[in-house]
Structure 1
Amino acid sequence: GEDRLVLSNSRYRELLYAGLEAELTPGTSFEEIIRRSAERGYIRDAEGRVDQWVAERLWRHSNPGEPWSQRRGDGRWIMISERRISAGGTVAVYSDITELKRREENLAEKS
């Protein structure tokens, strides 16, 4: 399918793909972006199972639902919210929720 990057801001590139910025050009396929990030260890859940993780992520991207969180290779947590738009594309919002997760973990340890 024609699922290619159209637009991204510098925060997206820094937050999710530091070191891949030069490869995140308009026209790059979504699968290529996520596969590269998984292969380079950016996704904790993809470690040791890149192909399976890519398949799961592509499915989730094609069937957007509730926002969900992803653990990054550097220990950060990202909230991912994707939705289809009438023009046929997908708008994705990525938020760094690391501090929120840390507070939750601290509260869980205290209770």
Structure 2
Amino acid sequence: MDDPEKRRRLAELEAKIEAAKSANTPKPHMEEHYSQANLAWRMVIELVAGLGIGFGIGFGLDSLFGTLPILMVLFTFLGLAAGINVMIRTAREIQTGDTSADTAWDDKEG
């Protein structure tokens, strides 16, 4: 076999490999309204989690130090602020169309 024949066969092989790779790429199978509902629930859960964690920390510290409602109220408000902050970050991700978890970690690393 001469060089042009090898090049032609190599080009055919590369084309077949590329076609196989493109055929195996996952396609989004979720409908649009399911995706939006999932994102809405994600934001609600983030807010409630912030409130719950803040309340739990405040209640625990109040029980530990004996200062009944002061730290509970303070940390509940801090948890609310943290939950709203995470919701805003999620809304920005939705606006840019970047809702995958991998890209969120990539932004923080580099």
* Shared fold (TM-score, shorter chain, > 0.5): no
The answer to which structure has the higher helix fraction is: 2
Q: Which has more radius of gyration?
A: 2
- What TM-score, normalized to structure 1? 0.26
TM-score of the pair, normalised by structure 2: 0.26
Question: Which structure: greater strand fraction?
Answer: 1
